Amino acid sequence: MRYILKISYDGTNYCGFQKQVNKITIQGELERCLSQVLKDNISITASGRTDAGVSAIEQVCHFDCEQELDKHKTMKYLNVILPQDIQCLSIEKTTLSFHARKSAKKKTYEYLFYVGSAVPVYDKFATNIGYNIDISKMNSACKYFIGEKDFSAFCASNTSVVDKTRTIYNLEIKPIEENLYKLIITGNGFLYNMVRIIMGTLVSIGLGKISVLDVENIINSKDRAKSGKTMPSKGLFLKKVQY
């Protein structure tokens, strides 16, 4: 039987989602705790990995097991055993045709950032991008990223992925509070560090280091050296996975 497991985590203290030997990861903790609750050896498949330090408001996984589960009881026991920074949102039965990664249609990430002086409360979840940043320039550059494109210029160089074409459905910056903003990006998939490099490129645009009109050239160049720096993982959240 196959179950959908929705989870939420603060990735600050983890070496990313994917299980690794001798490292504490989200997948490692989830599999350890779920195996303990179900007294079985459970493997978990997520919609995708998140990098070290990246959090998820809602991540979707699936797992198979032999038993018919009491969903509420299992979720309750699982949340007692799980570390406080990983929590189960829901468990639902599904069919074997569902696959957390392969069936995913769209993913939305958010990158939280703020401008101006350091605000310790914001530092808990957002990245400070400093003073004198033109947010409206950043916003006007967003439209150039939308569509089906080869995003090679926005992919960390140490990747084995060959096809770097992805479709971005939406990219925009919205204010949350005075000085605090979020970048919202929805796509059919993301390359390694892609959101953090797009964010770094937008910061360079906001600082006037890259012109808004250069964005198309940077995309067309397929050259990682032409785009902005990779922003810190703090501030990046997997918000939603759509099927």
Q: Is 214 a catalytic residue?
A: no
Query: Please, what is the minimum distance in Å from the beta carbon of residue 119 to a copy of itself?
Result: 5
Query: Please, what is the minimum distance in Å from the beta carbon of residue 95 to a copy of itself?
Result: 24
192 and 156 in contact (C-beta within 8 Å)? yes
Residues 163-222 that bind a copy of itself (CB under 8 A): 176-177
Q: Which residues pair with 63 in a beta bridge?
A: 3, 44
Among 80, 96, 121, 225, binds a copy of itself (CB under 8 A): 121
- Other beta carbons within 10 angstroms of residue 206's beta carbon come to 25
Residue 57 lies near a copy of itself (rule: CB under 8 A): yes
Residue 237 lies near a copy of itself (rule: CB under 8 A): yes
Query: Please, what is the minimum distance in Å from the beta carbon of residue 74 to a copy of itself?
Result: 14
Query: Please, what is the minimum distance in Å from the beta carbon of residue 130 to a copy of itself?
Result: 14
Residue 115 lies near a copy of itself (rule: CB under 8 A): no
Among 90, 94, 140, 167, binds a copy of itself (CB under 8 A): 90
**Which of the following is catalytic: 40, 51, 85, 223?**
51
Q: Give me the residues that bind a copy of itself (CB under 8 A), please.
A: 8-10, 55-57, 79, 84-90, 116-121, 123-125, 176-177, 237
Question: Which residues does the annotation mark as catalytic?
Answer: 51
